[in-house]
Amino acid sequence: MAAPKDAGAPLALRSLAWACAAFGGGVLLHIDRVPAWASLTCGVLILWRLAAVRRGLWLPGPLARSLLALGMAAVVLARFHTLSGLTAGTTLLLLMAALKLLETRRTRDELVLIGAGLFLLLAACLDRQDLGRAPLYALQGWLCCAALAVLATPSLSSRAALALAGRTLLIALPLAIALFVFFPRLPGSFWAIPRGTTALTGLSDSMTPGSIAQLVGDYSVAFRVRFEGPRPQALLYWRGPVLHEFDGRTWRRTEAALRARPRVEFLGEPVRYHVALEPTRRRFWFTLDLPAQSAGTRTSLTYDYTLMAADPVIEPTAYEGLSFLGSRAVDPLSAGSRREDTALPGGANPRTRELAQRLHAQSGTDSGYVTAVLDYLRRGGFVYSLEPQPLGADAVDDLLFRTREGFCGHYASAFVTLMRAAAVPARVVTGYLGGEWNPIGEFMEVRQADAHAWAEVWLQGRGWTRIDPTAVVAPERLTRGMLQLMPDAFSASERLLYGPGWLGGVLQRWEAASAWWADHVVRFDYASQLDLLTRFGVRSPDGRHLGWGFTAALCGWLAFMAWSTGRRSRRARPDALARAYRRLCGKLARVAPPRAPHQGPLAYAEIVLAERPDLRPGVATLFERYAQLRFGPAAAGAAEVADFARAVRRLAVPARARD
């Protein structure tokens, strides 16, 4: 071995390999998150170190290592512009641990590597929490614990170390679950959390005609909804940001926080539901059209009935919604709103304006005009297409009179432009349409592919009225998912997975399990803790009850462990042969001195026979048989032992010798 041996325990290849495995497992958890060169560096350093032990390769000295460390930190800094974000921090940890590997000399250094493996596991937990990754995390934890066992007890075989670590973790699991349930969660953070600022895919607060089409291929879940009571049978429009400002191409939200929300009269039955929203890094939450109240103190309902949170959604969020499927305005439209929602960029789309004025003049009323425009779209030969031809400077003119093909965003945009051109207040609403019902989990899954855009028009006497121009161009869009409608938008594997059939059924089950995991494990918080206590019969639970539960769980478990230790440490029950032998000695002790612990079977036989020579025929053979069975070259078979025991039982020991 070329590795210099220190006074401490010299490194063995096996324990080093285990430490490397624990660390390498941690690296693998991040392989798609950290830059490829970082994971590659780790792999190379691990191989180098193992080869150094095996073959005696050169290892860098302290100076080279320091330079390497500084260089790597500089590269990470140059790449991420920070060292504190989750990805940057993980990359740095990974590289530094790999460098530490080069100076592993003793067991302590190997422990550092296993610690790095556990820390990488923690970072992975912070990064992603979906059910599919949970087994990976469990494996990594198991690997680290087994590596600890190998380090502490090198005589353990790898299989024994894995078994030992697995058993220990299994024993620990009930306590871990109890601690998890009862450990009081703190609301808020101790220190500011560096968060990524780039928005994730999903709806944004602006819309160009093509932006929604980009989402269609994305089959990831946007949010899940669980209804209280029966699922509404009507079409479900999930309301997101409402867009007012139009520059001829892009629709945008307006920040008008101070504007009063016009009162409406809700019609029909209330729908109560629970939404589990995936992170969007944007502030708006989605509600069923039309929401009746905000979802707590951290959110507010804007004047155009968008649910806005104070902070961006950076982690899975759960909230409760109350909506009505119908509504009627009570207040008249304010002048400000009318001005905002009839504004059009001056001079753009002249042919559209001309068409609007003509149609409005023909129909007379606003509602008649809406019908006329929808008729125009229905009959005008318009096509629903994911990849329409690009539009020119006057985008709406181009769509209506030249290309005649587009996606929901195109038609919503064109419809609202037509309305505004005739001075009818109108706005674009973005959100999601429909969703997939999961019968196993009994929830509705709304995916990014369900993204949609529609219009709202102010009609006298009714207020804001939802009009979906896509419905007249492609009515099937409303009733069928995007997958059936436009299979080409999806990859083959997605078609196989999400389409109907056996795989789809398996997938639904998996989605249901994922939803359960997300609801009950990932989002398990203080409120869930109190909720659980209520279910256990605690009247008005608070933090103290959690503390008691925590203590009780800990004490109960410790008591159980102490009890089982006491049970285990008792002497092993003697085997059948030993029991029979004890019986034999017990019988003979009535007529001869009892056997002393140091006396072997043949020595004791001598003593007994010296006392009672008349017993020789039976007793001498029994002792010889015992010696043969216990100490003989062949292992004693069960039948022979049983035979011996029977012979012992049958042995008659008369109290006095027959003369």
Nearest to 87 by CA among 101, 97, 77, 98: 77
Backbone φ and ψ for 435, nearest 5 degrees, come out as 140, 170
Q: Can 450 be counted among the known catalytic residues?
A: no
Ranges within 572-601 binding other proteins (CB under 8 A): 572-573
Least separation in angstroms between CB 39 and other proteins: 22
- Considering only 156, 538, 607, 653, the residue that binds other proteins (CB under 8 A) is 156
- Is there a contact between 417 and 352 (Cβ–Cβ < 8 Å)? yes
The reply on whether position 148 binds other proteins by CB under 8 A is: yes
Task: Report in angstroms the alpha-carbon separations of 481 from 486, 487, 581.
Answer: 9, 10, 79
- Considering only 186, 361, 506, 559, the residue that binds other proteins (CB under 8 A) is 186
Least separation in angstroms between CB 124 and other proteins: 9
The reply on whether position 172 binds other proteins by CB under 8 A is: yes
- Considering only 11, 27, 59, 121, the residue that binds other proteins (CB under 8 A) is 121
Stretch near other proteins under the rule CB under 8 A, chosen from 23-31, 110-118, 208-216, 614-622? 110-118
- Is there a contact between 394 and 248 (Cβ–Cβ < 8 Å)? yes
- Considering only 521, 555, 603, 642, the residue that binds other proteins (CB under 8 A) is 521
152 vs 178: CA distance, rounded Å: 28
Task: Report in angstroms the alpha-carbon separations of 524 from 185, 306, 313, 570.
Answer: 9, 27, 17, 42
Q: What's the CA dihedral at 282, 288, 290, 294 to 10 degrees?
A: -50
- Considering only 96, 175, 235, 591, the residue that binds other proteins (CB under 8 A) is 175
- Is there a contact between 508 and 440 (Cβ–Cβ < 8 Å)? yes
The reply on whether position 33 binds other proteins by CB under 8 A is: no
Least separation in angstroms between CB 551 and other proteins: 14
The reply on whether position 158 binds other proteins by CB under 8 A is: no
Backbone φ and ψ for 173, nearest 5 degrees, come out as -60, -50
645 vs 91: CA distance, rounded Å: 68
Residues 6+ apart with CB under 8 A from 452: 212, 237, 408, 430, 431, 432, 433, 470
Least separation in angstroms between CB 238 and other proteins: 26
Stretch near other proteins under the rule CB under 8 A, chosen from 46-54, 165-173, 419-427, 616-624? 165-173
Closer residue to other proteins in complex, CB, 179/627: 179
- Considering only 523, 587, 612, 630, the residue that binds other proteins (CB under 8 A) is 523
Least separation in angstroms between CB 428 and other proteins: 35
608 vs 513: CA distance, rounded Å: 72
The 3-state secondary structure of 352-415, one letter per residue: HHHHHHHHHHHHCCHHHHHHHHHHHHHHCCCEECCCCCCCCCCHHHHHHHHHCEECHHHHHHHH
- Considering only 180, 437, 548, 631, the residue that binds other proteins (CB under 8 A) is 180
**Cβ-based neighbour number of residue 615 at 10 Å:** 21
Stretch near other proteins under the rule CB under 8 A, chosen from 171-179, 396-404, 585-593, 617-625? 171-179
Least separation in angstroms between CB 587 and other proteins: 25
Closer residue to other proteins in complex, CB, 69/134: 134
The reply on whether position 19 binds other proteins by CB under 8 A is: no
- Is there a contact between 446 and 227 (Cβ–Cβ < 8 Å)? no
Angle between helices 543-569 and 526-535 (to 10 degrees): 70
- Considering only 568, 590, 656, 658, the residue that binds other proteins (CB under 8 A) is 568
- Considering only 58, 190, 502, 536, the residue that binds other proteins (CB under 8 A) is 190
Angle between helices 13-29 and 86-102 (to 10 degrees): 170
Closer residue to other proteins in complex, CB, 235/522: 522
Stretch near other proteins under the rule CB under 8 A, chosen from 45-53, 174-182, 400-408, 508-516? 174-182
The reply on whether position 7 binds other proteins by CB under 8 A is: yes
The reply on whether position 539 binds other proteins by CB under 8 A is: no
The reply on whether position 197 binds other proteins by CB under 8 A is: no
Q: Can 643 be counted among the known catalytic residues?
A: no
Nearest to 25 by CA among 12, 39, 45: 39
The reply on whether position 559 binds other proteins by CB under 8 A is: no
The reply on whether position 620 binds other proteins by CB under 8 A is: no
Calculate ∠ Cα 604-610-613, nearest 5°: 115
- Considering only 315, 354, 442, 542, the residue that binds other proteins (CB under 8 A) is 315
Which residue among the candidates 205, 468, 545, 585 is catalytic per the annotation? 468
Amino acid code (one letter) for 127: D
Helix (H) or strand (E) holding 226: strand 221-228
The reply on whether position 522 binds other proteins by CB under 8 A is: yes
Closer residue to other proteins in complex, CB, 179/538: 179
Closer residue to other proteins in complex, CB, 168/214: 168
Total of chain residues touching other proteins, rule CB under 8 A: 61
**Cβ-based neighbour number of residue 377 at 10 Å:** 21
308 vs 416: CA distance, rounded Å: 23
- Beta-bridged to residue 376, according to DSSP, are none
The reply on whether position 96 binds other proteins by CB under 8 A is: no
From the number of C-beta atoms within 10 Å of its C-beta (0-12, 13-18, 19+), residue 118 rates as: buried
Which residue among the candidates 304, 452, 545, 585 is catalytic per the annotation? 452
Stretch near other proteins under the rule CB under 8 A, chosen from 188-196, 268-276, 495-503, 609-617? 188-196
- Is there a contact between 620 and 647 (Cβ–Cβ < 8 Å)? no
The reply on whether position 115 binds other proteins by CB under 8 A is: yes
The reply on whether position 628 binds other proteins by CB under 8 A is: no
The reply on whether position 561 binds other proteins by CB under 8 A is: yes
Q: Can 274 be counted among the known catalytic residues?
A: no
199 vs 308: CA distance, rounded Å: 16
The reply on whether position 152 binds other proteins by CB under 8 A is: yes
- Is there a contact between 455 and 427 (Cβ–Cβ < 8 Å)? yes
Structure tokens at 501: 């059939």
The reply on whether position 36 binds other proteins by CB under 8 A is: no
DSSP string over 452-501: EEEEEEEETTTEEEEE-HHHHH-THHHHS-HHHH-GGGS-HHHHHHHSSS
- Considering only 73, 129, 507, 611, the residue that binds other proteins (CB under 8 A) is 129
From the number of C-beta atoms within 10 Å of its C-beta (0-12, 13-18, 19+), residue 659 rates as: exposed
- Considering only 535, 571, 656, 658, the residue that binds other proteins (CB under 8 A) is 571
The reply on whether position 185 binds other proteins by CB under 8 A is: yes
Sheet of 299-301: strands edge to edge?
A: 284-285, 307-309, 299-301
The reply on whether position 565 binds other proteins by CB under 8 A is: yes
Which residue among the candidates 20, 42, 144, 408 is catalytic per the annotation? 408
The catalytic site residues sit at: 408, 452, 468
What does the binding site for other proteins look like in residue numbers (CB under 8 A)? Answer: 6-7, 107-108, 111, 115, 118-119, 121-122, 125-126, 129, 134, 137, 141, 145, 148-149, 151-153, 155-156, 164-165, 168-169, 171-173, 175-177, 179-180, 183, 185-187, 189-191, 193, 315, 521-525, 557-558, 561-562, 565, 568-573
